[in-house]
A = this chain, B = another copy of it.
Amino acid sequence: MILITGAGSGLGAALAGLYSEDNIPLLLSGRSKVKLEKVASTFHNEVKVKAADLSNASDVDALLGSLPEVPATVIHCAGSGYFGELEEQNVDQIEQLIHNNLTATIFLLKELVKRYKYEKVNVVIVMSTAAQAAKAGESTYCAVKWAVKGLVESVRLELKGKPMKLIAVYPGGMATDFWQSSGKSLDTSSFMSASEAASMLKHALTSAEHGYVSDITINRN
């Protein structure tokens, strides 16, 4: 089965839809149970939903505890954006950004490694091209995304030789609600839709007996 975080909207919801079409059992998580149920209501296969705030360690524990079996794949899409010149950013929103992106990912990955590091589990961590380059107007967002990249690269070293694999995904320029709620005004009409990105990502998440696609960057044209 596949656990998808951030499944209430955007890329996470779009991926859930695609895997649902393949009849793969899913556990969808996100902060809003209402959104998750709305997403799941359109599917015809076995889909569980469980709300969780991943920056809360006990929520992470409860979420993984609710899995009926070892998941073959975990796709961590949860995250949020916040933008603007550094001196104009708001202190509370900076802390929220850190919680939603960095703290949440550390707590989830910590618990996944603890439970499944000796199992064949693929953990897909969806970041952003902001994890790969500095950007004016995105300083704190780049900060938390660079952090997650540093975390992933380091934990890979800790997992060396173990069956659990970390797959790093860097999408850039997706048109999701994310931007509307981020405080950055952008014309996103030429951006990829979440469903385009989901479709490409699903194709690219491939493996063979002796290897796997470990890092994927998706860009808009």
Q: Which residues of A contact B (CB under 8 A)?
A: 57, 85-87, 89, 91, 94-95, 98, 102-103, 106-107, 109-111, 113-114, 117, 131, 134-140, 142-151, 153-158, 160, 163, 165, 170, 173, 190-193, 196-197, 199-200, 203-204, 206-221
Name the one of B114, B135, B163, B191 contacting A154, with C-beta atoms under 8 angstroms. Answer: B135
Q: B211 contacts A221, CB within 8 Å?
A: yes
CA distance A33 to B158 in the complex (A): 39
With contacts A103-B94, A134-B154, A135-B154 taken as known, whether A213 is within 8 angstroms of B210 at the C-beta atoms is: no
Q: B110 contacts A87, CB within 8 Å?
A: yes
Q: A157 contacts B143, CB within 8 Å?
A: no
CB neighbours of A210 from chain B (8 A)? 190-193, 196, 220-221
What number of copies of this chain does the assembly contain?
Answer: 4
How far is the CB of A112 from the nearest CB of chain B, in Å?
9
With contacts A102-B143, A143-B147, A146-B149 taken as known, whether A165 is within 8 angstroms of B221 at the C-beta atoms is: yes
CB neighbours of A191 from chain B (8 A)? 210
Name the one of B102, B153, B208 contacting A134, with C-beta atoms under 8 angstroms. Answer: B153
CB neighbours of A110 from chain B (8 A)? 86-87, 89, 94
Q: A138 contacts B154, CB within 8 Å?
A: yes
Q: A216 contacts B196, CB within 8 Å?
A: no
Q: A139 contacts B158, CB within 8 Å?
A: yes
CA distance A153 to B210 in the complex (A): 29
* 12 CB < 8 A contacts A-B: A57-B91, A86-B154, A94-B106, A98-B103, A137-B158, A146-B150, A147-B147, A165-B221, A196-B211, A211-B220, A211-B221, A216-B216
With contacts A157-B135, A206-B200 taken as known, whether A217 is within 8 angstroms of B218 at the C-beta atoms is: no
Q: A215 contacts B213, CB within 8 Å?
A: no
Other than the given A197-B211, A214-B219, 17 more pairs (CB < 8 A) read: A86-B113, A87-B110, A94-B106, A98-B103, A102-B147, A134-B154, A145-B150, A146-B146, A147-B150, A170-B215, A192-B210, A196-B209, A197-B208, A200-B208, A204-B206, A211-B219, A211-B220
